[in-house]
Amino acid sequence: MALPISYILFFFLLALSIFLSISSSSWFGIWIGLELNMMSFIPLITIKMSSHLSESALKYFLIQALGSTMFIMSSCMFLSFTQMSPPILLASLLLKLGSAPFHFWFPQVMSGLTWAQAIILMTLQKITPMVLISYLSTHSSLLKIISLSAILSAIIGALGGLNTMQLRKMMAFSSINHMSWMLISISISDTFWVTYFLFYSSISSAIMALFLIFQAFTLADLMKLSQTNPIHTLIIPLNFLSLGGLPPLAGFIPKWMLIQFMINNNMYMSLLILLSSALITLYFYLRVATFFLLLTNPTAVPNVKLNFTFSMPTSLLLFFNLFMLNLPFMFLLF
């Protein structure tokens, strides 16, 4: 069913607000873009009348309103309290971003969203705060706060996803963990974090698009997928292993670049924490992958013919996965 024109308009305003915020030359213009972004995303959350969607919309509104209040307050304090204003401004952006220690709202909001809304929340809604944090990374006093938030995000994102059976919460804690790599990348250079964000957005969007197609929200739902099509058992584990950064998949490329830079600059302690958290996240990614590969056995179902047909979405996603699988070898050729 086609979306109403009003929702297409809200999505257009969402994209417009991102460009308005990152291209504005004043804090007031950035604040207007952030407010427009919030007020255009909330109608997209409440696209259907549901208690879960309404609860997520209310939580998102309260958190974003608090972040906007802190943002405009710190902007007004620049002239009088020059030392206090930048940390408050950075804290407001970390709150909007859902990075630790201001991560508490992100898994709860994600739990009530549909997969289409979760894709927007985990990709487009992160662009503006990260660009603004990259502007603030020129202040040497704020780099320690950014690094501290990155370390906390790595630890919380890794430990938070261990015991959850909900796929949306798993993706939320995965996003928090990947935020640690992106925050460290922001403190280094714009090229690093843009590269990491593009890889992360493409891989995580592919995973959530698969869950949207299959309408899977828990690990138990994965077991109910069509066991007569073995193609499904290839696509989802391949995406998860790539998201976990397992070499030689494409998700390892931005982490490889960042690891080399951190080693060259003697950032061993931060690198140790990030790599340890990546191993933990790879554990619960592998739990999904092995669950899919070992328990999904079409031959164990009697009188069922194997179906190797490729639907259009499945074909596109499989092509995407196979292309991403070969992408690291293309880098090695140059």
> Which residue pairs from 245-248 have beta carbons closer than 8 angstroms and sit at least 24 positions apart in sequence?
245/278, 245/282, 246/282, 247/328, 248/325, 248/328, 248/329
- pLDDT-derived band at 1 (thresholds 50, 70, 90) equals very low
- What residues contact residue 31 under an 8 Å CB cut-off, 6+ apart? 68, 71, 72, 75
Would the pLDDT of 318 be above 60?
no
Nearest to 47 by CA among 118, 120, 117, 119: 117
pLDDT tens-digit series, residues 186-244: 988 888 899 999 989 988 888 888 888 888 888 888 777 645 456 666 777 888 888 88
The position carrying tokens 């996003």 is: 175
- Worst-scoring range by mean pLDDT, 151-155, 241-245, 313-317? 313-317
Would the pLDDT of 323 be above 80?
no
pTM of the model: 0.88
The position carrying tokens 């899919």 is: 292
- Worst-scoring range by mean pLDDT, 254-258, 281-285, 306-310? 306-310
What are the start-end ranges of the H helices in 80-189?
85-97, 105-111, 115-122, 127-136, 140-160, 167-188
Q: How many residues are listed for the chain in this entry?
A: 334
Contact indicator for 186, 193 with CB cutoff of 8 Å: yes
pLDDT tens-digit series, residues 61-78: 999 999 999 999 998 887
Contact indicator for 91, 70 with CB cutoff of 8 Å: yes
CB atoms within 10 A of CB 20: 18
- State residue 265's pLDDT score: 85
Decide which of 41 and 53 is more confident: 41
Q: In percent, how much of the chain has pLDDT > 90?
A: 43
Would the pLDDT of 304 be above 50?
no
Three-class secondary structure of residue 30 per DSSP: helix
Give me the half-sphere count of Cα atoms (radius 13 Å) on the Cβ side of residue 115.
18
Q: Mean pLDDT in the chain?
A: 83
Q: Residue 57 and residue 43: Cα distance in Å, rounded?
A: 8
- pLDDT-derived band at 306 (thresholds 50, 70, 90) equals very low
CB atoms within 10 A of CB 15: 13
Taking each helix axis from N to C end, the angle separating 85-97 and 127-136, rounded to the nearest 10 degrees, works out to 160
CB atoms within 10 A of CB 301: 11
Would the pLDDT of 260 be above 80?
yes
Going by the DSSP 8-state scheme, the letter that residue 311 receives in this structure is: -
Nearest to 222 by CA among 315, 288, 304, 174: 288
- State residue 162's pLDDT score: 86
Q: Where do the structural domains in the chain lie, given as residue ranges?
A: 5-333
- What residues contact residue 332 under an 8 Å CB cut-off, 6+ apart? none
